[in-house]
Amino acid sequence: MQIVDAQIHTWGSGLPSPPGWDPNSTEMALKAVKDYPGRFAIMGALPLDRPESRVRIATWRQQPGMLGLRYGFLSDPARQWLKDGTLDWLWAEAEKAGVPIAMLATDSLREVGGIAERHPGLRLTIDHLGGRGGTSSLKDAAAMTHIPQLLALAKFPNIAVKATGVAHYSGEAYPFPALHTYLRQVYDAFGPRRVFWGTDITKMPCSWRQCVTMFTEELPWLKGRDLELVMGEALCAWWSWDRAAGAAA
């Protein structure tokens, strides 16, 4: 079974605290792609407040290993820009260029639905089960109050969910059973082709292997072909990552 981690962070200095802790992290990611082709790929970022970013989207995926864009919309001004239409150019240009976008947007899930509806050709991915990921100290049910709003987005076929950072939301020990109910709800709503396993490993209270086995061994309802999709194949298809072509380049 192919296993592809939907989210890791790399850094060479400072502490792993969002949104970015190392100004050289992009260069590190590009080097990882160069040194290990087919094993690493990048969801990068363009400055949202610079006019020149618009023209760069058309050729964004021509960079080796660059699959798309990723942004956090948990705080202003980015959160407000998402709500008031300031970023309408981003969705339009990304849709036109076939550039998928991943986002951390817990407070703006309704607005994300509106974007998906207006831009049906734009593939959007909601990070960390729709929650706040490593920025949150809430645990178990308190960390999952947004789930009804997330599930409502399943009706848009161009929205997917990264089931990343799950262990961070748990106040329990492995295999973090309180979170299984929410994983099942998301899986039932979005299906195996729009739910992507991953770790966000630098924020996890457990090992990478436990992040894997939580899905491969502890969820009896996730098995067979659906398990293969969730653990990597669906993500590669959603972001159009041809790992074999990258390795051969």
Whether 9 maps to a domain, the answer reads: no
pLDDT tens digits for 213-226?
Answer: 999 999 999 999 99
Instruction: List the CATH number of the domain containing 241.
Output: 3.20.20.140
Cα distance between residue 147 and residue 144, in whole Å? 6
Express each pLDDT in 38-91 by its tens digit.
999 999 999 999 999 999 999 999 999 999 999 999 999 999 999 999 999 999
- Label residue 24 by pLDDT band (50, 70, 90): confident
pLDDT category at 135 given cuts 50, 70, 90 is confident
Q: 15-29, 67-81, 172-186: which has the minimum mean pLDDT? A: 15-29
DSSP E strands in the chain: the ranges are 42-44, 66-72, 101-104, 124-126, 159-163, 195-197
- The answer to whether residue 155 is domain-embedded is yes
Q: pTM for this structure?
A: 0.94
| Res. 19: pLDDT tops 60 | no
**Using CA atoms, how far apart are residues 94 and 54, in angstroms rounded to an integer?**
9
CB 200 within 8 A of CB 133: yes
Q: What angle do CA 114, 118, 121 make, to 5 degrees?
A: 120
Q: Report yes or no on 61 lying in a domain.
A: no
